[in-house]
Structure 1
Amino acid sequence: MGKTEQNKSQMLEMKKWAVVGVTQDESRYGYKIYKLMKSKGYSVYGVNPKYSEVDGDKVYGSLRELPESIECVDVIVNPGVALRLLDEISELGIKNVWFQPGAYDESVLEKAVGLGLDIVYDYCVYAELLK
């Protein structure tokens, strides 16, 4: 799983993202990452079945509901949810997944690699975008 540095640079160049685990709670990274990506010019969709909107933007219940294809998924959910999410990501043909700290464990990473996904982990997209 050693291509993380290369994958990180490539993913940050991609402009169409989904943030799975977006939230209305301004103190949480699900909110902060979504807002920062939008402010940096990314086309970003929030995904969380618990919400219908965040700051007036539509939030989708699943990746399948998105109105267009995306290039990368930022995962901000617990490892159990992330593990199930990988099947949907693979079925939709999405190849790039960024796991936020706390969103993965060894089984999640192994499954992602087994599905042929390009992944980033051990890095926070929020911190990377602030550099």
Structure 2
Amino acid sequence: MHSDTETVRRILTELGDTWAIVGLSADERRAAHGVAGVLQRHGKRIVPVHPRAETVHGEQGYPSLDAIPFDVDVVDVFVRSELAGAVADEAVAKGARAVWFQLGVTDEAAYERTRAAGLEMVMDRCPAIELRALR
């Protein structure tokens, strides 16, 4: 199983508090905006990653993962499945500890590559939902 409960719990509670959120823009209508707010309320530092590099929830945005001038723990992916594999590869190159593909985002080959590189990975789940379930 690609998203077992123990992996979800470990990513949310043990792997660090800096979450790069790929696809996060200032558009409040997008799911990424709401999820980022939930993560922030749970003590996570969010880092918006979007071509427009907008500031979101008070945090400076960056146009790409490699443009972030500090380490990130988890890369949360809000892009279409066909683009997600490249983001997972960038997360590995960045030195992230985990990759999280949001609801509806799947890529089996990216999952295998990411796990083979030693990162934790979750696919097709939402950390905002999972944080509520941990209580």
Instruction: Give the TM bin, normalised by the shorter chain.
Output: 0.7 to 0.9
Question: 2:47 aligned to 42, 45, 48, which one?
Answer: 45
SS in 1 for 2:21: strand
Q: How many residues align?
A: 131
Could you report, residue by residue, the CA deviation over 1:49-84 in whole angstroms, capped at 9, with x for unpaired residues? 134222443211111122320111111111122111
The match for 2:69 is: 67
The match for 2:23 is: 21
- Structure 2 counterparts to residues 89-108 of structure 1, below 5 A: 89-108=91-110
Identity %: 31
Q: Which runs of 5+ in 1 are unaligned?
A: none
The match for 2:12 is: 12
TM-score between both structures, scaled by the size of structure 2: 0.83
SS in 2 for 1:126: helix
The match for 1:121 is: 123
- Which structure shows the higher strand fraction? 1
Could you report, residue by residue, the CA deviation over 1:80-126 in whole angstroms, capped at 9, with x for unpaired residues? 22111122111122131111112223333233334333111232111
